[in-house]
A and B are shown apart, each in its own frame.
Chain A
Amino acid sequence: MGLEIRQEQGTAFVDVQDEMTIYTAALQWEQLQPLLAQVKAVDMNLSAVSEMDSAGIQLLLALKQASDRLHNRFVLTAPAPCVEDLLQLLRLRSVLMPAEEAETDG
Chain B
Amino acid sequence: MDDLTQTFIQESEELLTQMEDALLALEDEPGDEEQINSLFRAMHTIKGAAGIFGFDPVVDFTHPVETVLDQVRSGGRALDDELAGLLLQCKDHTAALVEQITGVGEIEATLLADGYTLLEQLTGQVQAPAVAADAAQEGVVEQEPVGPPHWLITLKFHPDALRNGIDPVSFIRYLGNLGDVVDLILHHDQLPGSDAFDPESCYLGFDIIFHSDASKQEIQAVFEFAEDDCDIRILPPAEIECAFEQMMDELPDDHTQRLGEMLLAVGAITEHELTGSLQQQTEQATAEAEAPVLPVGHILVEQKAVSRELVDKALDKQQKAKQKASHEASLIRVDSAKLGRLINLVGELVISNAAVKLRVEEQGLGELSELVAASEHLVEEIRDNALQLRMVQIGDTFSRFRRVVRDVSRDMEKEIELVITGGDTELDKTVVEKITDPLTHLVRNSLDHGIEMPQERLRAGKPAKGTLSLNAYHDSGHIVIQIRDDGAGLDATRIRAKAEAIGLVKPDQVLTDKEIYQLIFAPGLSTKDKASNLSGRGVGMDVVRRNIDALRGIIDIDSEPGTGTTVTIHLPLTLAIIDGFMVSARGERYIIPLSMVEECVEMEATAWQVDEDRRYVNLRGEVMPYLSLAEFLQIPHCHDDHRRESLVIVRIGHHKAGFVVDTLHGELQTVIKPLGRIFSGFRGISGSTVLGSGEVALILDVQGLIQAATAQMQLH
Contacts and interface: CB of A to CB of B under 8 A. Distances in A.
A55 B191 contact: no
Interface in B148-184: 162-163, 167-170, 172-173, 181, 183-184
Interface in B348-385: none
Looking at B183, B188, B194, the one whose CB has the most chain A CB atoms below 10 A away is B194
Contact of A91 (B163, B170, B185, B203): B185
Interface in A46-99: 53-55, 57-59, 61-62, 65-66, 69, 86, 89-92, 95
B202 A58 contact: yes
Interface in A23-42: 25-26, 28-29, 33, 36
A14 interface: no
Looking at A90, A91, A95, the one whose CB has the most chain B CB atoms below 10 A away is A90
A62 B191 CA distance: 7
A3 interface: no
Contacts of A92: 186
A22 interface: yes
A58 B183 contact: no
B439 to A, nearest CB: 60
B6 to A, nearest CB: 55
Contacts of B461: none
Given A58-B199, A90-B184, A91-B183, A65 B191 contact: yes
Contacts of A61: 186, 188, 191
B169 A53 contact: yes
B194 A36 contact: yes
A58 B204 contact: yes
Contacts, number: 72
B172 A33 contact: no
B169 A62 contact: no
A31 to B, nearest CB: 11
A33 B198 CA distance: 11
Contacts of A33: 194, 197
A90 B167 contact: no
A90 B187 CA distance: 10
Contacts of A91: 183-186
B124 interface: no
A29 B186 contact: no
Contacts of A36: 194
A29 B173 contact: no
Interface residues of B, number: 23
B188 A65 contact: yes
A25 B202 CA distance: 11
Nearest to B169: A54
**Contact residue range for chain A?**
20 to 34
B184 to A, nearest CB: 5
A66 B185 contact: no
Given A25-B200, A26-B200, A58 B191 contact: yes
Contacts of B181: 89
A62 B167 CA distance: 17
Contacts of A90: 169, 172, 184, 186
Given A55-B199, A58-B202, A66 B194 contact: yes
Looking at A54, A66, A90, A92, the one whose CB has the most chain B CB atoms below 10 A away is A54
A54 B592 CA distance: 83
A interface, over-half SS = helix
Contacts of B167: 22, 53-55
A69 B191 CA distance: 13
B193 interface: yes
Nearest to B186: A90
B682 to A, nearest CB: 83
A19 B225 CA distance: 24
A25 B169 contact: no
Contact of B197 (A28, A29, A57, A89): A29
Nearest to B165: A22
B183 A86 contact: no
A33 B193 CA distance: 11
A29 B199 contact: yes
A29 B203 CA distance: 15
A54 B194 contact: no
A62 B186 CA distance: 13
B178 to A, nearest CB: 15
Nearest to A85: B173
A65 B188 CA distance: 9
Nearest to A64: B188
Given A66-B194, A69-B193, A89-B172, A54 B204 contact: yes
B191 A54 contact: no
Contacts of B186: 57, 61, 90-92, 95
Contacts of A66: 193-194, 197
B173 to A, nearest CB: 7
A33 B183 CA distance: 32
A4 to B, nearest CB: 19
A102 B309 CA distance: 32
Nearest to B203: A58
Nearest to A33: B194
Nearest to A92: B186
A53 B172 CA distance: 12
Given A54-B204, A57-B169, A89-B172, A62 B194 contact: yes
Contacts of A25: 162, 199-200
Contacts of A22: 162-163, 167, 200
A28 B169 contact: no
A25 B197 CA distance: 11
B481 to A, nearest CB: 60
A21 to B, nearest CB: 8
A47 to B, nearest CB: 20
A32 B698 CA distance: 94
Contacts of A69: 193-194
A88 B28 CA distance: 47
Contacts of B168: 54
Contacts of A58: 162, 188, 191, 199, 202-204
Contacts of A29: 197, 199
A54 B203 CA distance: 10
Contacts of B197: 29, 33, 62, 66
Contacts of A53: 167, 169-170
B169 A89 contact: yes
Contacts of B188: 58, 61, 65
A62 B199 CA distance: 8
A33 B173 CA distance: 30
Contacts of A86: 169
Interface of B: 162-163, 167-170, 172-173, 181, 183-186, 188, 191, 193-194, 197, 199-200, 202-204
Given A26-B199, A58-B199, 15 more contacts: A22-B200, A33-B197, A53-B169, A54-B167, A55-B199, A58-B162, A58-B188, A59-B199, A61-B191, A62-B197, A65-B194, A91-B183, A91-B184, A92-B186, A95-B186
10 contacts: A33-B194, A54-B162, A54-B204, A59-B199, A61-B186, A66-B193, A66-B194, A89-B169, A90-B186, A92-B186
Closest 4 CB pairs of A and B: A25-B199, A66-B194, A29-B199, A54-B168
